[in-house]
Structure 1
Amino acid sequence: MEKRKFEEESYGGEAPAQEAESPNPVQAVVPTTTRDKGKRRAVVATQIGSYFKERTTPRSQPTLKSVLASKEIVHKAKLGLAKWIVDAHIPFNAIQSLYFQPALDGVAVIGPGFKGPSYDEMRVHLLADLKREYQLLVEKYRSSWKSTGCTLMADGWTNQRQRTLINFLVYCYAGMSFVKTVDASDVIKTANALFNLFALVIEWVGPSNIVHVVTDNAANYVSAEKLIHEKYPNIFWSPCAAYIINLILKDIASIPHIVDIASRASKVTVFVYNHMILLSWLRKRKSWTKIVRPGVTRFATVFITLKSIYDHKEDMQSLMVDKYFTSHK
C-alpha cells in the first residue's frame, strides 16, 4: 500500500497497473522516483508543449500577475525599455525582431533580481554560444541537402572601400544559410578564376547535393558555369531574375523619349529640393511624401521617381498657381 501510494504521488494520480503495457510513449520513459520528478516534467513538457500557446501570443490567456498590473506599472516597464533603446542608439525596427519578445519572456520567467549579461560575457561566452547554436542550425540544413537538394547562389557586389566581394549562399527547402564571403579584389575575374572559386564552395557543400546555381548574367559567369557543368553534369545554371529585370529596365531607360522624360523629372526634383521655402510649403500638404531622387546604381530608381512625381502631380500644380509661389521673388 505504501509503495502504491508513493507511485500515485509521483504520477499525480493513480499509478498504472503495468507500465510496460502502457501505449503512451511518454509513460514508457517517465521516472517513478521523487528525485527524477523534474526530469519527468521536462519529458512531458517536450511532448505536450506544442499544444499550448505562449502567453504573449495573440488571443492567449494572460497570467494573473500581468492582469493585476496597473497601467502605470506597464507604462513604466515599457518606458525603461525605451530609454535603453534610445540611449544605446538601437534602431526602432529592432523591436520587430523575432527574438525580441522571447528575450522579454525569458526575463519575466526569472522574475525580479535578474541581471543582464555583462560586456565580457556578451563578447566571449554568449557570442561563442550563439556561434555554436547557429553552427548546429547550419548542420541541420546540411542534413537536408542530401534528401531535397539545394541551390547555390553567388552575389557579387562592391563595398564602400571599392572591394569586390562575392557572397555564397545555399538555399534549400529547410532554409537559407550563408556559406562564405570571398574578397575577389585581387583576382582577375576570368572564367577559370571564377570556376576555381565556385569549385571550392561546391566541394564543401557536396557536388551531389547541388542541383542548381544562380549567378549574374555577365559573360564571365556564363563561361564559368559552362565549366562547372562540364565537371559536374548534375549541376545546372540560371541567371538571377533581379539582375535580368535590372538589365531590362536599363534597356528601357535608354530609349530616347524615356531619357528625355527622366531628364525633366530630374530637373523638377532638383528644383524642389534646392528651394527649401517651396519644399516647406509642399510638406504642409497632407498627401505630400518624399520624392525619390534618381540614382546611378539602380535603373529602377528612374521609374520609381517618375511614378512618385506623377503621384505628386496635383501638389505640384497647386504650388504653381498659389500666391505663395507666384509672388515669390
Structure 2
Amino acid sequence: MGDGWRDTRQRPLINFLVYCPKGVTFIKSVDASDIYTNAENLCNLFAEIVELIGPANVIHLVTDNAPNYKASGRLLVERYPTLHWSPCAAHCINLILEDIGKLPDVEELANRASRVTIFAYNHKWSLNYLRKRVGWREIIRPGETRFATTFIALQSLYQRRDDLQAMVIDQDFKQFLKTQKGKTVKQVVLDEFFWNSCLIIVRMMAPIIRLLRVCDADEKPSLAYVYEGMYRAKLGIKKLCKNKKELYKPYTTLISGRWDRMLRHDLHAAAYYLNPAFMYEQDTFSTKSEVMRGMLNVIDKQNVSGSTKTKMVGQLNYYRERELGFSGSMALMCSKTTRPGN
C-alpha cells in the first residue's frame, strides 16, 4: 500500500506498508516532491518497492486515486502482469458518502438537523436541560472532512429524539418561541416526517459506513469484504425503498457510479468468491456473472502453467459445491468464523 500524505511543510510523502494475514508492516517513507506529478517516475518508485518485497510476493497495490497515481498503477501492471492495482477503497467510499450528502433531500435533512444541534449547544438553558436527562449522551456533530459523520450525526440526533421533544414542550422553552430560531427548532423537533426521514437515511447508509470502518481499520485486510459490502448496500437501499425505482435510483446510481468508475476490480470479485462466509450464504450470495468472471480473470493472471490454471478452476467446483476437504465438519464450522487468508 502506498499511502500519500503531506507533512507540515507541505511535502508530498508516501508511506509504504505491507498488508498480509499476519498483520501490517511498515516498509519505508519516501519524499516524493520531485516525482509525484510524473506517472513514469511514480511507477519506477513503486517498482523499487515491488522488487524489495519480491514480485512473487506482491498481489495487490493500493494507492491514492489521483490521476498521476492511476496512470502509474496502469504502468506498473504492464511491467508486472501478475500484479493488481486499485485505488483506496476507503477514499472511494468517502466520496460515495459525499455524493449522497449532496442530494437535495439529504442536504436539507442534514441542515435541519444541524439547526437543532447548534441551538441545543448554543443556549445554556437547553444544554443544561438535556444534560440533566437520565441516560443523556452528547450529540455527535458533523466533521468538515469526514463525510460519514453527517450520517453518524443524524443517527446520534435521532437517538435523542425523546429528550429533544421533551425539551421543546417544556414550559421554560416558551422563552425561545419569541425568536424565529426557537420556533424553527420546535417545528423540526416535533415533525414526525423529519424523524422518519432521519431513520430511513441512517438505515440506508449503515452498510456503507460499516464497510468504511472495515476498510479504515488496520487490524485485518479488507479486500475480502469490499464487494459484498457494496452489493449488500445497494440491496439494502432497494429493500428500504420497497423496490420502488423512483425512490432508490438516486442513491444506487451514485453508488454504482463511484464503484464502477473508480473501485470495482476483478480482485474484489475473486476475494468475495473465495470468502466462505459469503459463498455459503446461498440466499444472499451474488449470482452476477461478473463474480465468476472476475475469479477466472484473477486465475488467468497467475504466473503458472495452463495445466495448473485448469486444476485451479476444477478446485473451485469442489469449493463451491462443498466437496472433498470443503465438506468436513471442521471446514463447515470454520467457514463462518475464520478470516479469509487464515
Query: What TM-score do you get using the length of structure 1 for normalisation?
Result: 0.49
Query: What TM-score do you get using the length of structure 2 for normalisation?
Result: 0.48
Q: Which has the higher helix share?
A: 2
Task: Indicate the structure whose relative CO is greater, using CA pairs within 8 Å and at least 6 residues apart.
Answer: 2
Q: Which has the larger radius of gyration?
A: 1
